[in-house]
Structure 1
Amino acid sequence: MSSSLILVIALSASVTGAPSLLAADTAPASATSELTTPKQRLDALFADLKRERDPEKAREISDRIRVEWQDSGSASVNLLMQWATKALEADRKATALDIFDQVIYLSPQYVEGWNQRATLHYRMGNYRKSMSDINQVLAIEPRHFGALAGMASILTAAGKDELALRAWEQFLEIYPADRQAQEQLGNLEEKFAGNRT
């Protein structure tokens, strides 16, 4: 429920003298605001993502998850990540790689440091290094759907279709409404069905 709708209901409740309506409508908002730790917020978002069947709404939830992942909890690490992003925008991959190395050294449990370095290794064609970083991402956050998609892409490129299929299945366990993942899984399943006949 939007905050403006809650405000309208609150104002109408005070005018009509219906405090029970106000209490009922503000209860979910206060329950959500009690999710103060990043883990609690992520757990709630992942539960929502798993239930959501509408692709657009699911994308909004996945974007909120990405925002949660981006915050390292350290101003220094967040600044380094901004510098790495600027280096990538300027096509200075080696500089960005050095910065990601520093991020991982300073904050080895920060999942996006590993994930962004994995993505950069992938873009540079360093698939083995990318896969190593993806494994670190999944050790820290097994629900990291972005890392699972990267893993599936690398496995497909390497001709390891059965393992890629499993990675897409894991992805869809976490993020069932993603159409691209559904397509990728469908293509692999068709390929296996064709091989069996």
Structure 2
Amino acid sequence: MVAKFSNLKAIVAATSLTVLFSVPLQARAESPADEAGLLAALAQADPDEAIGLDRSLQALWGSSGSPAMDLLLKRGKDALDRGDTRIAIEHLTALTDHAPGFATGWYERARAYFTAGLFGPAVADLEQTLMLNPNDYNAIFALGAMFEQFNDPQNAYEAYKRAQAIHPHHEAITNALDRLKTTVEGREL
């Protein structure tokens, strides 16, 4: 009788662990479908609807699935908001080291590097961001801003157009395209 209960305990423990560890994986597996739906809706949305869809996408992309990694992200963003780029880079480097598959960590560290004037590392982090999440229109926009920084308006314009195809009502993207349009396309005669 004791042997039966010890086997039962092992089976219950194994089942509990299986359920416990499969729930986050199942939730994460559903995210791409949610993301695809949000992106499709964003591409067709009117300006008012786009605001809510953008928030939903940022919330989806901004959650690592780990409270510890989310805390590192928050600390890095808070430091960047305070203007403390050194601390921001430290927190965000810890984040990218421990969660290398989390695109938002790479994007935020690219922002910190850019703010610090470290353009090479910023470009490298934007590249990593876009490898992990090719639909991150903020990262594509940031890449366009980097091209502008390097006096390459043609590539900047192309990046902004790509970002606009994903998020047609992004104000900063629209402003950048308007600013570069005559430089890239020329003036109408």
Pick closer, same or farther for the CA change 1:177–1:87 going to 2, 3 Å. closer
The aligned length equals 163
Map of 2:148 onto structure 1 = 156
TM-score of the superposition, structure 2-length normalised?
0.78
Distance 1:172 1:98 in 2: 32
Greater shift, 172-181 or 113-122, is seen at 172-181
Map of 1:171 onto structure 2 = 163
Greater shift, 120-129 or 35-44, is seen at 35-44
Distance 1:177 1:91 in 2: 29
- 1:104 corresponds to which of 96, 101, 107: 96
SS of the aligned residue for 1:37 comes to helix
Q: Deviations over 1:73-113 (max 9, x none)?
A: 11211121122233334433212211111111111010110
- 2:133 corresponds to which of 135, 141, 164: 141
Structure 1 runs of 4+ aligned residues shifted over 4 Å read none
Whether 2:38 is the aligned partner of 1:45: answer: yes
Letter in 2 for 1:73: G
Letter in 2 for 1:91: G
Gaps of 5+ in 1: 1-33
Distance 1:134 1:35 in 2: 23
Letter in 2 for 1:123: T
How big is the alpha-carbon RMSD for the aligned residues of Structure 1 and Structure 2? 2.2
Whether the aligned pair in 2 keeps the contact of 1:35 and 1:41 (CA below 8 Å) is no
Once the two structures are TM-superposed, the CA of residue 36 in structure 1 deviates from its matched residue by: 7.3
Distance 2:63 2:28 in 1: 16
